[in-house]
Structure 1
Amino acid sequence: MPMLTVDVWSPKGGSGKSTISLNLAAFFAAEDTSRRVLLVDADAQQSARTWEARAKQCGLAPAFDVAASDARADRYDVVIVDHAPYAPAVAASTLKSGVVVMPVLPSFFDAASTIRGQSELQAKDRRVLLLPNRVETAYASDLSFLAGFVGRPFIKKRKAAYQATVARGLTIFGADKSGIRGLNEARAEIERVVSSLVDLAAA
């Protein structure tokens, strides 16, 4: 059995699930090169598999495996599952682990939907890490939104670091010579997410 399985899910599409899933898998693979890491692409958009194809086009070998299902998950040490967005009631029966990362965008409607989803999952004994994503700390409205997440990790809107790496078949942990701005800051963000995630899994 995997030592850690993490579901990345949101009731809202476009929340950044796939980018977060990709970089979580990349972190665990980079932290220990002997660790077997699997990224399960369970989203109909097939973002992770599209990224894998792009990496291969660029002559790159991903540091972790990407698959359409978790049929062989027992062969891995860490499994990250990128889920499609759907109703929380469905999610509770579909998610594989007790630990769920839920990206939430800094808007009223996204937050309301995500917090409802969190409550329903927690009622099913899932441990949930709400993760504010694409936050603009120069905006007063986003800072006000973050006030509800004091002491918790969040991800700033770093288009260069996150989107440019994906477009090149890279991750933020595999782009040392790419010249992309903000890599160190983006890595620190994901490292804080992992720290909170590991604490939550151990709770």
Structure 2
Amino acid sequence: MSLVIAVANQKGGSGKTTIALNLAGAYCDDDPSLRVLVIDADSQNSSMRATSAGSEPYPFTVVNLAAAGSNLGREIKRMAETYDLIVVDCPPSVHDRNTEVAIAASDFVLVPMDASALDAWSTVGMLQLVRRKVGSDATACGVVFNKVNTKTTGYGEVRAAMEEDNPYPILRSTIAQREIYKTAIGVGATVFTVKGQRTAKVAKQEILAVAKEILTIKGLMEA
């Protein structure tokens, strides 16, 4: 059976698709022998659209299961028999059936957010859904700060607030606001495969750190 990671938050623009695709890219880059799948469960089909934006295919497979509905969980389980690692790009809503099913079918839920009050409020709602679906197991979910400047006071305040009454870890790894992420997605690549972009190096380090920290939380890699 494979490791299934759902990337979910109810606020649009939190970076779910970008993180989902780059996480898949990180695992493929770290171990090219891995069979990695991205499931696009969002009706906006952003992950699927990204696959047609480039001249070269991703080193992982992307499938569209946005219309699967209540069968999504069964499809994830079936595909887990073929792939080593599955990343699910969830819809931006706690009320979408696909989000609920994907969370319940996942081994780990990654919740991206930026350092703002609006994101904090929406993230609390997502964490409540995760808690209802999978319980309070600290290895079942984690929050990652995305598009942030960790040197600001605001980041520190929001991070401290998110740590209160939260059974799930806040990842030490963070992702900064970088144009390279938009550039890579726009040409159908990840920061691991985009060409001619010197700024990709630090982005690779960020995403790989997140990918490895997830494995550490799950007990699949030593800290």
Q: Is the 8 A contact 2:94 2:129 kept in 1?
A: no
Q: Which residue of 2 aligns with 1:125?
A: 134
**1:173 equivalenced with 2:192 (yes/no):** yes
Mean CA deviation greater in 45-54 or 130-139: 130-139
Q: Which residue of 2 aligns with 1:64?
A: 60
Mean CA deviation greater in 83-92 or 105-114: 83-92
Unmatched runs of 5 consecutive residues or more in structure 2: 66-71, 164-169
**1:195 equivalenced with 2:212 (yes/no):** yes
Q: Which residue of 1 aligns with 2:91?
A: 84
How far apart, in 2, do the equivalents of 1:147 and 1:188 lie? 24
Q: Tell me which amino acid in the other structure corresponds to 1:64.
A: F
**Shift in CA distance, 151/166, structure 1 to aligned 2, threshold 3 Å:** closer
User: How far does the alpha carbon of each residue in 1:72-104 deviate from its partner, in whole angstroms, 9 at most, with x for none?
Assistant: 512111111101012269544442213100011
**Shift in CA distance, 66/94, structure 1 to aligned 2, threshold 3 Å:** closer
Q: Is the 8 A contact 1:29 1:37 kept in 2?
A: yes
Q: Is the 8 A contact 1:98 1:125 kept in 2?
A: no
**Shift in CA distance, 78/98, structure 1 to aligned 2, threshold 3 Å:** closer
Q: Which residue of 1 aligns with 2:167?
A: none
Q: Which residue of 1 aligns with 2:176?
A: 156
Q: CA shift at 1:200, angstroms?
A: 2.4
User: How far does the alpha carbon of each residue in 1:26-67 deviate from its partner, in whole angstroms, 9 at most, with x for none?
Assistant: 111111222111111111111111110012xx2x12101110
How far apart, in 2, do the equivalents of 1:136 and 1:46 lie? 29
How far apart, in 2, do the equivalents of 1:61 and 1:94 lie? 25
How far apart, in 2, do the equivalents of 1:169 and 1:111 lie? 30
Q: Percent identity?
A: 30
How many residue pairs are counted as aligned between the two chains? 196
Q: Which residue of 1 aligns with 2:119?
A: 110
How far apart, in 2, do the equivalents of 1:34 and 1:24 lie? 15
How far apart, in 2, do the equivalents of 1:105 and 1:23 lie? 17
Q: CA shift at 1:147, angstroms?
A: 4.7
How far apart, in 2, do the equivalents of 1:88 and 1:192 lie? 31
Unmatched runs of 5 consecutive residues or more in structure 1: none
Calculate the TM-score normalised by the size of structure 1: 0.86
**Shift in CA distance, 63/151, structure 1 to aligned 2, threshold 3 Å:** closer
Q: Which residue of 1 aligns with 2:158?
A: 145
How far apart, in 2, do the equivalents of 1:19 and 1:94 lie? 18
How far apart, in 2, do the equivalents of 1:97 and 1:137 lie? 29
**Shift in CA distance, 145/100, structure 1 to aligned 2, threshold 3 Å:** same
Q: Is the 8 A contact 1:88 1:117 kept in 2?
A: no
Q: Which residue of 1 aligns with 2:31?
A: 32
How far apart, in 1, do the equivalents of 2:212 and 2:178 lie? 20
**Shift in CA distance, 25/171, structure 1 to aligned 2, threshold 3 Å:** same
User: How far does the alpha carbon of each residue in 1:125-168 deviate from its partner, in whole angstroms, 9 at most, with x for none?
Assistant: 25111111111345432343345567622111012x21111112
